[in-house]
Chains A and B, each alone.
Chain A
Amino acid sequence: MTIILDPTDERKPVMRQVAARSGILAGAVGLLDIRKPRGNVLLDELERQLISAAPGITVKRFSKPTFTKPCPDDLRRDIASQVDYLVEALAD
C-alpha cells in the first residue's frame, strides 16, 4: 500500500440545492452583464422578451467591472438586496 498526501484544497463535495420554484414570474428580475463584448445584446433581447411575457415584472440591469475577475462582494450584496431572480449573461 502506498500513502500519498492530498494535493487539493480538500473541500468536501457539496450538493447545491436548486432554489424552490414558485411557478410564477413576478417581482424584480436582475440581468447581469459580465462585460464581455455583445453580452449586452443578449441581455437587451432577454429583457424585451421578459417584459413582453410578464408585463408586471421589474427588470434591473447590473454589470461587473470586468469579465476577468469574480463579481465583487459589494455588487453581489447589492444585487441580492434588489432582485428576486438573477440572469447572468455569459458570452462566447
Chain B
Amino acid sequence: MTEAMPAFALASLSGSPQAFPGDAPSLVVFVKEDCETCNTAAPVIEAFHKAYGDRLRVLVPAQSGAGNAVFSARHALTVPVLDDTACQASFDWDIEIVPSVFWLDASGAVKTHFEGFVRAEWEGLNTDIAASLGKPAAQVDWDSLPAWRPGCGSRHLYPEIHDKLRAARDGQSLLARRIEIAAADDVMEFMFDQGFSDGLPVVAPTPERVLKMLEGTHRSPQDLIAVVPPNMGEATTEKVAINAVMAGCKPEYMPVVIAALEAVCTDAFNIHGVTATTMGAAPVIVVNGPIRDRIGMNKGLGALGSGNRANATIGRALRLIVANVGGGKPGGVERSTLGNPMKYTMCFAENEERSPWPPLHVERGFNKEDSVVTVFAMTGGPVHIVDQESRAPQQVAGSIGFGLEGVFLPKLRNLAIDALLVVCPEHVDTLMSEGPYTKAQLRSRIQEVTRRPLSEMVASDTSGAGIPHAVAGKMGAEKLKGEVPKFAGDEYIHIVVAGSDAGKFSSAFHGWATGDIGSRSVSRKIDLGWRVGPEPL
C-alpha cells in the first residue's frame, strides 16, 4: 500500500486555509508562475477542476510569491492556487520538476504521478478520473496543446532555499550551541569580537553550511574525532565541520582535516607543546596519494602558497580547531615569542608525479594508492635554497646541504632536530642527470658537506651559543678536532618533492624539539568515506 503524502496546510489567494489530505480524493499540481510548461498545463488543470471539483479536490501549490496571483489571473483560474512560496510542501513532497502532478485517494496515497507536460499522460489521467468518479470526462481541446513539453526545476531546489529547508529538517543532528546574531550586528565583526577568528575573516558557520560540510564525511556528527589540548576540548565531527566552514573548506576536504586533526592530537605529535612553545612552532601538513588530485590540491607551481583553496583552508581549519576547540590561543597557552605565519596555515601536496623517489607516505610504510596526511612540527620556513649554477648531482646536493645549515643556528651541529626538505623539480633533474640519485645519497651528501670540527661550536665572543667553555676545556683540543654533521642522524632529514618545472629553488622547513622531549612527525591514512564525495577519478 502506498504511503500517504505529507500533510500540508497552505493559504489560498483569498487567504483561506486549505489542508491536505482532506476527506476526498485530490489532484495536487505544483506550479511556478515563470514556468512555460506550468502555463501550458494551467487550462487543463482548470478544466479538471470544473469537471470534477465537486468530487475531487483540485489543489495548485504555487511557488512564486506575488507571481501566484499573476498566474491565476492570466488563466482566469477558479481552482484554488495555494501559496507555497516558502516551498515547504514542495520540499516535503520531494518533487524535482514543475508542473508535478499527483492524483491521490482520500487517504492521501498516490494513484498516479507524472511531471512536465506529456499530453498523453494528461489524457489518460482524464479518462481514469472520469471512470473513477463515474462522471463525464473533462472537456479539453487536446489538439491545441503540445504533445510534450519538459517541465522546469522546482524552486525549492534552488541552493539558498534547499539548504535552509534541509537545515530545518536535519538540524536536530547538530548539538553545538546555537548563537543568534541580531540583524543589526555584522556577522563577521561579531565573530571577530567573540575570538573565533585567527585574525582573518571567517565564514559564518550557519547550520545550513555545517550540514553541507558534514556531507564530506561518513562520520556521524557526534563521533569524537579527537580530544584537543590544551583544554582537552572534545572535537566531534560537528565541531570539526563548524571550524572547516569557518576556514573556507569544501566538504570534500573533510577527510583530510579529520586525519590531520587525529595526527596532531597524538602524544607523539604533542600539539600542546607545539602550540605553547615560545619558539613558535606550527604543524606543517603534507598530503600524499590519490586524494591530492581528487580535491584539487596544489603540488606544483606555488605549492607552498598561495592561491589554492584546498591547501590554504585545510591547514587553516586545523589551526582553528586547535584554537577554538582546544583553546590554544595567542596570549593564553600559545606563548610564541614572535609567532609564525605558518600558524595561519601550512599545507601542501607532494608532487609525486615529478619525483623519482618513493613518496613520503610510501617511505613511512603506506601503500602508494593510500591517501595519507603527515604532520611535522616546524618553527621556520619555507627557507629557500638558491642554486641556479650547479650542473652536477653532487654540486646541487652540496648546495642543498649548505641550505640546511641555518636550522636553529648555523653554528649548531649534530642536532637531533627534524628538517623537512622540499626539493624542486629542476634540482631533482640535476640530481638525476647522471643516473639514479637516491634520497639516501642526498641525505648522506647533506651530512657530508655540513661536517665541521666541534671546535667551531665552542662558545666565543662572537656567539655565546654552542659548547660552553668549561665543557670544551674538559673535552680537550684533540676531541674538539672531531667533526660532526648538521644532523644527529640521517633520519632527521625528511625529503619531499613539490613545485613547478621552472626555477632552481628548493626549500626547507626547520624543526622544533624533535622526539619525546617535544614532537615526532605523525602520518595518518585518510578515511575516504565521503557521504557525498567528488567525482570518482
Contact = CB atoms under 8 A, between A and B. Distances in A.
A20 interface: no
Interface in B245-275: 246, 270, 272-273
B52 interface: no
Contacts of A2: 180-181, 183, 187, 204, 206
Contacts of B59: none
Given A8-B324, A70-B230, A3 B176 contact: no
Interface string A1-13: 1111111111100
Contacts of A4: 178-179, 181, 187, 191, 204-206
Interface stretch (B231-239, B413-421, B437-445, B478-486): B231-239
A92 B230 CA distance: 20
B178 A9 contact: no
Q: How large is the interface on B (under 10, 10 to 19, 20 to 34, 35 or more residues)?
A: 35 or more
> Which secondary structure characterizes the binding site on chain A?
loop
B152 interface: no
Contacts of B229: 70
A3 B206 CA distance: 6
A49 interface: no
Nearest to B177: A6
A68 B278 CA distance: 10
Interface residues of A, number: 16
B206 A6 contact: no
A66 interface: yes
A3 B234 CA distance: 22
Contacts of B181: 1-4
B174 interface: yes
B43 to A, nearest CB: 43
Contact of B276 (A8, A10, A11, A68): A68
A69 B177 contact: no
Interface string B162-196: 00000000000010111111110001000100001
10 tightest Cβ-Cβ pairs between the two chains A and B: A9-B233, A68-B273, A6-B177, A5-B176, A7-B324, A2-B181, A7-B242, A8-B324, A68-B518, A5-B242
22 contacts: A1-B181, A2-B187, A3-B178, A4-B178, A4-B204, A6-B177, A6-B179, A6-B242, A7-B320, A8-B327, A9-B231, A10-B176, A66-B516, A66-B517, A66-B518, A68-B270, A68-B272, A68-B517, A68-B519, A69-B273, A70-B229, A92-B335
Interface of B: 174, 176-183, 187, 191, 196, 204-207, 210, 228-231, 233-234, 238-239, 242-243, 246, 270, 272-273, 276-278, 320, 324-327, 335, 337, 513, 516-519
Interface of A: 1-11, 66, 68-70, 92
Given A4-B179, A68-B518, 4 more contacts: A3-B181, A6-B177, A9-B326, A92-B337
